[in-house]
A and B are shown apart, each in its own frame.
Chain A
Amino acid sequence: MAKDNLTDTLLDVANLTVRFPVKSGTPFAKKQWLKAVDDVSFIIKRGETLALVGESGSGKTTTALAVARLVDTHAGSVDLNGHDFLALAGEELRTARTRLQFIFQDPYSSLNPRLTAEDIVREPLESLNASDKSNHNKIIDDLFEAVGLRPEQKKLFPHQFSGGQRQRIGIARAMATQPELIICDEPVSALDVAVQAQILNLLRKIQKERNLTYLFISHDLGVVQHMCDRIAVMYMGKIVEYADRLSLFNNPQHPYTAALISAVPSVDRERRSKFTPILIPGDTPDAINPPPGCRFSSRCPVAKPVCSESEPPLTANTDDHFVACHLVTDFGESPITFMRLSH
């Protein structure tokens, strides 16, 4: 990715590849690999939010886990604040982890049921922060206030909280070590819609107050549109489109992105009358044997022979709008534009 504003770049991920061994039925068979993340590159600027979107199995969570070193990387590099995060080990890695924290999807299974809320938030402080212990109580009090929990709730256990409150504990825990980057993996998809709004507003508020940077993973394009500055769309382990928020939503160029956006049901009558949903047939193909050429070619409504012959590279067309499609013109005209206007 372009490295023009090096000072501004907080996270620089280049050519990241993660693969998992696949068990085959027969012994002594050639080892097969599933490439969950295949040659993925992106940058996140300080204070910004990048969204990884895509359907289940597209590799968004695996990408995040690899960035946080929670799964092993096969190839590629992850640069956090100018330091190679993947090369760290031992004590260095432990210190570096304070700068990168995770908010998990499921607030029910990601909190230890045997610890009180206070102890859950204290855990990263004690295991990662070198700062002296006398400060910890003060830090915890501040965090509870920041995420909108009352002081008397510190002594309660996770099961005594509602889903939204548990996610607040998860957010407080992620903020405890004063990280620069927080990875939010579907932070609201397990919550009711009214509670979602509370958590989304909270995430934006603390981002502004503490100049946090988010890597935000979601399948909900409405939420992504609201939260993010730049968006990377993934399909079968590859980034197929990468652009800033307005450019991506108002001018999606990759047929998959266009289909994804058009498939979101909307309450906006103007939007419904203007765009007909682009239906893409079938399901995501088998990830062990992806189709030759462009991985979307088997479902693409506008695919041409060239699409199944060679894999399109992710290239910049206009204004930092990256897209991996043979059929998008050099001026960033999408092959699917004509389908978006119903009249």
Chain B
Amino acid sequence: MSALLEVKNLRIELDTRAGVAPVIDDLSFELQAGETLSFVGESGCGKSMTALGIMGLLPEKIGRIASGSICFDGEDITKACDERLREIRGNDISMIFQEPMTSLNPVFTIGEQIAEVLRRHQKLGKKAAWQSSVELLDAVRIPDPKRRASSYPHQLSGGQRQRVMIAIALACKPRILIADEPTTALDVTIQAQIFDLLQDLREQTGSAIIMITHDMGVVAEIAERMIVMYAGRMVEQGQVDHVLNHPRHPYTKGLIECVPHLLATLTEERLELTEVAGIVPSLAEFGQDACLFASRCNKVDQQCLQARPVEQHFDNHQVSACWHADKV
């Protein structure tokens, strides 16, 4: 069975003042239909760039796909023309952004903004599109959808705005939904509502979800597979359970251990949090032939500084890009 989305050796370059930086460096992964895949990492590690690359929304003129392919259902969308991309976007692949306030148009009602997608992609008439948008608002559990459809974004709460974003993204029943930190700006009880909603909608529509987050708890809660990114490179990939139980890359291990997690039963004991010293390297340092995590790693040796780690594959399909993966 071929994958719904197949990314091969993707390299995305961004022009910076210091020169060209590879913000995504040799990334390969597959996404099966109906699956939830999570991208994790700190800010500046290339999670959002991957998403924008897939959507064909890289910043014009300064960002480009330098090499590699993104095959959606057998078609390489890196070679597709703008018109074909517009057909795919919003219809087959759609995206929810982090900040619902800035992603909605403040001068149109939310019903109008949902209807626009349906008119454009499904060629619905004005009335039918409006009717569908009311139904969609109901599906994302906005109370009193008929009246709410005529509201403007500023009249809604943050959680409701994100629901509208989800309604827009799901309007055409896309086969892939990319969610870029969809709940970072929201409170935890609202976050729980949104995740519950996404799970339900996934079951109804069968969409595959790419969830971008920095929260390991979120990954554990909703994803089946995960990819850990660091400085534009994939450092670890595998089933969520496997990776969380036994991370094979020091960075993944650090990301899991540096957060004070809520456990089933709390005890008096409070250990020091494990620190991952330092910060993510700047764009200028991306793309070196060395392990980019070496400066923050406690297992570093000569080999790490001299050559980029080769991906090591384990029996449980876990992949780690670390020279010492078997010792982690």
Interface residues in chain A, defined as those with a beta carbon under 8 Å from any beta carbon in chain B: 55-56, 162, 164, 192-198, 200-201, 204, 219, 221-223, 225-227, 245-246, 249-250, 259-272, 274-275, 277, 279-284
Contact = CB atoms under 8 A, between A and B. Distances in A.
Nearest to A261: B262
A55 B187 contact: yes
B216 interface: yes
B266 A249 contact: yes
B23 to A, nearest CB: 17
B218 A265 contact: yes
A134 B259 CA distance: 41
Contacts of A267: 216-217, 219-220, 244, 256, 261
B62 interface: no
A221 B262 contact: yes
Interface of B: 42-43, 143, 157, 159-160, 187-193, 195-196, 214-222, 241, 244, 254-256, 258-268, 270, 272-277, 279-280
Contact of A193 (B159, B214, B220): B214
22 contacts: A192-B279, A194-B258, A197-B259, A197-B275, A198-B275, A200-B273, A219-B187, A221-B262, A225-B260, A246-B266, A249-B266, A260-B188, A265-B191, A265-B218, A267-B219, A267-B261, A268-B264, A270-B264, A272-B220, A277-B196, A282-B143, A283-B160
Contacts of A277: 192, 196
Contacts of A271: 262-264
A260 B191 CA distance: 11
A225 B263 CA distance: 10
What are the 9 closest A-B residue pairs judged by CB atoms, nearest first?
A226-B260, A265-B217, A197-B258, A263-B192, A55-B187, A271-B264, A194-B276, A265-B221, A197-B273
A250 B266 contact: yes
Contacts of A262: 192
A259 B196 CA distance: 14
B260 A223 contact: yes
B260 to A, nearest CB: 3
B217 A193 contact: no
Nearest to B263: A268
A192 B219 CA distance: 16
Given A193-B42, A197-B274, 19 more contacts: A192-B280, A193-B258, A194-B276, A197-B275, A198-B275, A221-B188, A221-B262, A223-B260, A226-B260, A249-B262, A250-B265, A261-B262, A264-B188, A264-B217, A266-B221, A266-B261, A267-B217, A283-B157, A283-B160
Contacts of B268: 246
Contacts, number: 129
Nearest to B270: A226
B160 to A, nearest CB: 7
Contact of A194 (B221, B222, B255, B260): B255
A195 B214 CA distance: 12
Contacts of B43: 192
A265 to B, nearest CB: 3
Contacts of A265: 191, 195, 215, 217-218, 220-222
Contacts of A201: 272-273, 275
A311 to B, nearest CB: 21
Contact of B187 (A56, A245, A250, A272): A56
A164 B196 CA distance: 33
B188 A283 contact: no
Contact of B220 (A162, A194, A263, A266): A266
Tell me if A's interface is mostly helix, strand, loop or mixed. helix
B189 A260 contact: yes
A225 B42 contact: no
A320 B156 CA distance: 39
A250 B263 CA distance: 10
Contacts of B219: 267
A196 B214 CA distance: 12
Given A56-B187, A265-B217, A192 B42 contact: yes
A204 B274 CA distance: 13
Contacts of A281: 193
Contact of B260 (A55, A219, A222, A272): A222
B244 A283 contact: no
Contacts of A164: 279
Contacts of A266: 217, 220-221, 261-263
Nearest to B40: A193
A221 B275 CA distance: 19
Nearest to A54: B187
A283 B143 CA distance: 11
Given A55-B187, A194-B42, A260-B189, A268 B261 contact: yes
B139 to A, nearest CB: 16
Kindly name the residue among A227, A245, A267 whose own CB sees the greatest number of chain B CB atoms within 10 A: A267
Kindly name the residue among B214, B215, B261, B267 whose own CB sees the greatest number of chain A CB atoms within 10 A: B261
A283 B273 contact: no
A200 to B, nearest CB: 6
Contacts of A221: 188, 262
Given A194-B42, A263-B191, A225 B262 contact: yes
Nearest to A56: B187
